[in-house]
Amino acid sequence: MSVSTCPSEPAASNPPRQDGLDVLDRAIVVATQAGLPLVPDPWRAVGEPLGLSGEAVRERMVRMQAAGVIRRVAAVPNHYRLGYVANGMTVWDVDDAHVDRLGREVARLPGVSHCYRRPRHLPEWPYNLFVMLHGRTREEVEQQAERLCELLGAACRDHRILYSSRILKKTGLRLAGRSDRRGQMR
Amino acid sequence: MSAESTTRPEPAALDAADRRIINRLQEGLPLVASPYASVAAEIGLSEGELLYRLERLLESGVLSRFGPMYHAERLGGGLTLAALAVPESEYPRVTELVNAFPEVAHNYRREHRLNMWFVLATETPARIDETIAEIEAATGLPVYNMPKQEEFHVRLHLPV
């Protein structure tokens, strides 16, 4: 799982607490956390150790994707290795009355990979809209930020660009737990 | 993972086929019976060539991952973004302490007084607050917790 990349399913502000996954769905999640096998029939490769047919695995994954549990099955690039060396976390202090409408508009701009509303920590941290921008140069990121600034207009009181100067850690998430704890999962 | 092993890598040299693969597979693999063959046909490669190149792109770190991207909260897990204001002299020590938590999935140094930003991913939502308390105890620094309140949907696509 990766939170370094973003979803493609339609917005749902209140995802269900009950995930509706059974033990076998969970087993598939655990088995594919590190990645999908690079073999002609990856579904069969995932299913074999679980005692599932390839078609059963595929159907379950289709269902999980339809439910939004799987955002998509995709390649996650290392930004730096693709030449996107300027990665700016831009943070914006946007009027609460307009932030949700504007957030949806901002998310459609090119170069935006993630767009979230988050809590302020006043007085130290007044920013409530977080927008990740990616460019090949800082100038490119700054131009993108300029466009955001224009779009947000008077609803935005202040903003900052926080560049990442170093990756300190980057691992996949391990949310479903280790396979030996599968029995504890719903 | 130590801080030393994660310095910023150089941009990779990619040929036209690599670029087609990266661009196409950022959008997502179709969940069909022979998915790689299907994508390979779309971008004018054989299935074997696609699989070989994909493996190489993963080995060389151009792709950090290929597979299902799961929605943490919908799997019943907890997820948040948090920040620390770390005194410069203590930065290496705090980096080690924070990275040692398995719940810390990503950690970035950023240029601000809040200069350490990390993503916490836990098996249950309740573990988020516990982990934050543990990080505060270990580092002696207050953690600024910034869980998402609303997600505005975009599609990550870095064209190469």
| Domains of chain B in sequence order | 13-59 (1.10.10.2890), 73-145 (3.30.70.920)
pLDDT of A59 above 90: yes
pLDDT of A13 above 60: no
pLDDT of residue A21: 87
Token pair recorded at residue A103: 């957030």
Would the CB atoms of B8 and A167 count as touching at under 8 Å? Answer: yes
Of B115 and A21, which is predicted with more confidence?
B115
pLDDT of A12 above 60: no
Q: What whole-number distance in Å separates Cα of residue B143 and Cα of residue B128? A: 12
Tell me if B71 sits within 8 A of A69, measured CB to CB: yes
| Cβ contacts of A170 on chain B, cutoff 8 Å | 1, 6, 64, 105-107
The residue assigned the tokens 């150089």 is B10
pLDDT in tens, B103-119: 999 999 999 999 999 99
pLDDT of A42 above 50: yes
Residues in chain B: 160
Mean pLDDT of all residues belonging to chain A: 84
pLDDT of residue A102: 97
Q: What whole-number distance in Å separates Cα of residue B158 and Cα of residue B26? A: 8
pLDDT of residue B12: 77
| Cβ contacts of B160 on chain A, cutoff 8 Å | 77, 82-83
Would the CB atoms of A35 and B144 count as touching at under 8 Å? Answer: no
Average pLDDT of the segment spanning B148-156: 82
Would the CB atoms of B11 and A116 count as touching at under 8 Å? Answer: no
pLDDT of B24 above 70: yes
Distance, CA of B159 to chain centre: 18
Average pLDDT of the segment spanning B124-144: 97
pLDDT of residue A85: 85
pLDDT of B132 above 50: yes
> Residue B71: closest CA among chain A residues belongs to which residue?
A69
pLDDT of residue B39: 98
Q: What whole-number distance in Å separates Cα of residue B72 and Cα of residue B23? A: 25
Give the CA distances from residue A18 to residues A39, B7, B75, in Å, rounded to whole numbers and listed in that order. 33, 40, 8
Helix axis angle, A99-106 to A138-152, nearest 10°? 140
| Cβ contacts of B104 on chain A, cutoff 8 Å | 169
Would you state the torsion angle of the CA atoms of residues B47, B50, B53, B59, taken in this order, to the nearest 10 degrees?
-90
Contacts of A75 (CB under 8 A, 6+ apart): B21, B22, B25, B26, B54, B57, B63, B65, B66
pLDDT of residue B9: 64
Average pLDDT of the segment spanning A46-65: 97
Would the CB atoms of B66 and A76 count as touching at under 8 Å? Answer: yes
- At A2, the pLDDT band (50, 70, 90 cuts) reads very low
Tell me if A115 sits within 8 A of A106, measured CB to CB: yes
**Strands, E, within chain A: which ranges?**
70-77, 86-94, 112-117, 129-135, 156-170
| Cβ contacts of A73 on chain B, cutoff 8 Å | 28-29, 31, 35, 67-69
Would the CB atoms of A74 and B147 count as touching at under 8 Å? Answer: no
pLDDT of A11 above 80: no
Q: What whole-number distance in Å separates Cα of residue B24 and Cα of residue B39? A: 8
pLDDT of residue B1: 40
- At A179, the pLDDT band (50, 70, 90 cuts) reads very low
Q: Considering only A9-13, A76-80, A106-110, B72-76, which range has the smallest mean pLDDT? A: A9-13
Q: Is A106 on the interface with B (CB under 8 A)?
A: yes
Restricting to A residues 34-63, those with a Cβ less than 8 Å away from any Cβ of B are 34-36, 38-43, 54-55, 58, 61-62
Nearest CB to A75; choose among B3, B66, B81: B66
pLDDT of residue A18: 53
Peptide bond into A123 cis (omega under 30): yes
> What are residue B124's phi and psi, to 5 degrees?
-135, 155
- At B156, the pLDDT band (50, 70, 90 cuts) reads low
- At B19, the pLDDT band (50, 70, 90 cuts) reads very high
For residue A9, give the DSSP letter: S
| Cβ contacts of A119 on chain B, cutoff 8 Å | 145-147, 149
The residue assigned the tokens 């573990």 is B127
CA distance to partner chain B, nearest, from residue A14 (Å): 9
Beta bridge partners of residue B144, listed in sequence order = B83
- At B8, the pLDDT band (50, 70, 90 cuts) reads low
pLDDT of A176 above 70: no
Distance, CA of A84 to chain centre: 18
- Whether pTM exceeds 0.80: no
Would the CB atoms of B6 and A165 count as touching at under 8 Å? Answer: no
Q: Considering only A8-22, A96-110, B94-108, B112-126, which range has the smallest mean pLDDT? A: A8-22
pLDDT in tens, A78-103: 888 888 888 899 999 999 999 999 99
pLDDT of A186 above 50: no
Give the CA distances from residue B64 to residues A76, A81, A134, B7, B60, in Å, rounded to whole numbers and listed in that order. 6, 10, 16, 14, 9
% of residues, chain B, pLDDT over 70: 92
Would the CB atoms of A38 and B112 count as touching at under 8 Å? Answer: no
- Delineate the domains of chain A, giving CATH numbers in brackets: 23-75 (1.10.10), 80-163 (3.30.70.920)
Nearest CB to B37; choose among A40, A70, A73: A40
